[in-house]
Amino acid sequence: MERFLKTEVNKKLGERAWKEFLSQIKNTRSLNNLEGIFNALLSSKEKFLLIRRLVVKFLLKQGKRHKEISEILGVSRQTINAVKKSLFEKSYKTYRKRKI
């Protein structure tokens, strides 16, 4: 995806598509329609990863400790830290992006 967005034209197209997507979500009044949008866009693997991150976020907000979350979900502490940092840092970069 990053290679796709390297050219200025593709960056603009990506930003436009993202804003249109957000607008479509904002204007969706039905949970079934919203679910349809995400089912059309996400593979089963992407949906699984998104749900896992959402559950980590939920458990962090419930005050669960990293060790508890790791045991409940079977995720690494690195994953939990990444979700936690993304909650509090607007400009958070993944470990992969930091190495580039």
* Structural domain boundaries in the chain: 1-41, 43-100
28 in Cβ contact with 37 (< 8 Å): yes
Q: What is the pTM of this model?
A: 0.67
Compute the distance between CA of residue 10 and CA of residue 62 in angstroms, rounded to an integer.
Answer: 40
Structure tokens, 29: 């009044």
Compute the distance between CA of residue 79 and CA of residue 2 in angstroms, rounded to an integer.
Answer: 21
> Could you read off the pLDDT tens digit of each residue along the chain, which spans 100 residues?
556 666 777 888 889 999 999 999 999 889 999 999 999 999 999 999 889 889 998 999 899 999 999 999 999 998 898 888 887 776 656 666 666 5
Amino acid at 98: R
